[in-house]
Amino acid sequence: MPDVMASAGAGAHGVTEDMLLPFQIESLGLRGRMVRLGAEVDAVLTRHDYPEPVARMLGEALALAALLAGALKYDGVFTLQIQSDGPISLLVADVTSDGHLRGYAQFDADRFAAAAAARAQSGAGIDRSVPGLLGAGYLAFTVDQGAHTDRYQGVVELTGATLSDCAHTYFRDSEQIETCLKTACERVALPEGGSIWRAAGLMVQRMPAEGGGGSQADRIWQSLTEDEAEDGWRRVVILTSSARDEEMLSPALPPPELLFRLFHEDGVRVFEPNSMTDRCRCSRERVSAVLAAQPRAELDDMKEPDGCVVVTCQFCNRAYRYDDADLDALAEETPRQ
């Protein structure tokens, strides 16, 4: 994979938006990913009438899913799912190995409004924390590579103030990989007026040196003393944490330039970016297959006042309509048992 050294003002192959950018801090044996989402995450979040804190949490979940998926080698779908007992009861964000994103949130509107009103009455600001919006629950990571392969799943309780905190807990307790994560999502004003949702994430991991010592990076990594490696990791964690949300989200600051600002003293190298695209996997064929498996009486009970069965995709909000003629056709196409 071609690589370029990050330098001030440099773009990554001319792409600065809706992409995942791998990088290495070679002198310290560290690898990382930065994701920057603009129009694609805005399309996902604006399809639904989410309150702003809900949209922000889902945007951060999409950025986190992109980061975690980008660190894996897989051919299929990586899914981040949160189930909890808070005002937001479900968050789902998934990323295919082709970089196709989708996500949705389920929330209790009445409960959310009551909590927001109570905080406003007390003079408190909007609660954006995991305990306040999600409550108690769990975060699950799933890699699905098809029907004839084993599904990988990791599960961790929701622990910490942010989604990044929860992911830290997973890597620390389940993978034993030292990981530093930071995500951001905000509605950003446009110069011509209006605003757009933007999301970003930054992840650095401390990986063990590879065996063999064949590459220059291996030789450098293996030459570090334990104290040098530990000091370097602590420095990178501090630098990663110092990245401000506005820097991570700014369209005027290309990701390679931000990485250069943060890590230039240790020699950061960026690689070819991977594009991220808002694309749902729903289709009329898939919906028809589900409906065809249902008894006709149940389908009749599902009819709207206009006499049609309407199935709406939770992810992209696309509605599929079936009138009596469509339902009859499904019944005729279904093999008799």
- Could you state, in order of their start, the residue ranges of all structural domains in the chain? 3-278, 284-333
Q: How far is CA 99 from the centre of its chain?
A: 11
Residues in CB range of 261: below 8 A, 6 or more apart: 8, 247
Q: How far apart are CA 43 and CA 280, in angstroms?
A: 11
Fold topology of 3-278? Hsp33 domain (3.55.30)
The count of residues in the chain is: 337
Per-residue pLDDT of the chain (337 residues; tens, 9 = 90+): 333 333 333 444 456 899 999 999 988 878 999 999 999 999 999 999 899 999 999 999 999 999 999 888 888 999 999 999 999 999 999 999 999 999 999 999 998 888 888 878 787 777 889 999 999 999 999 998 876 677 778 899 999 999 999 998 888 887 778 899 999 999 998 888 889 999 999 999 986 555 445 555 556 667 778 888 889 999 999 999 999 999 999 999 999 999 999 999 998 999 999 999 999 999 999 999 999 999 999 999 999 999 999 999 999 999 999 999 999 999 887 654 4
Q: Give the per-residue pLDDT at 2.
A: 33
Q: How far apart are CA 202 and CA 141, in angstroms?
A: 18
CATH 3.40.50.300 correct for 284-333: no
Q: Give the per-residue pLDDT at 235.
A: 94
* Predicted model pTM: 0.88
Q: Give the per-residue pLDDT at 218.
A: 58
Q: Is 157 in a helix, a strand, or coil?
A: strand
Q: How far apart are CA 90 and CA 92, in angstroms?
A: 7
Q: How far apart are CA 164 and CA 167, in angstroms?
A: 5
Q: Give the per-residue pLDDT at 3.
A: 37
Q: How far apart are CA 221 and CA 203, in angstroms?
A: 19
Q: Give the per-residue pLDDT at 212.
A: 47
Q: Are 108 and 121 in contact (CB under 8 A)?
A: no
10's tokens: 């440099």
Strands 178-189 and 19-25: unpaired
Q: Give the per-residue pLDDT at 9.
A: 36
What is the torsional sign of CA 14, 17, 23, 25? positive
Q: Which segments within the chain are labelled E, that is strand?
A: 3-5, 19-25, 30-37, 77-84, 88-96, 100-107, 137-144, 152-157, 178-189, 195-206, 268-271, 274-275, 277-278, 309-312, 319-322
Q: Give the per-residue pLDDT at 299.
A: 94
277's tokens: 């695209």
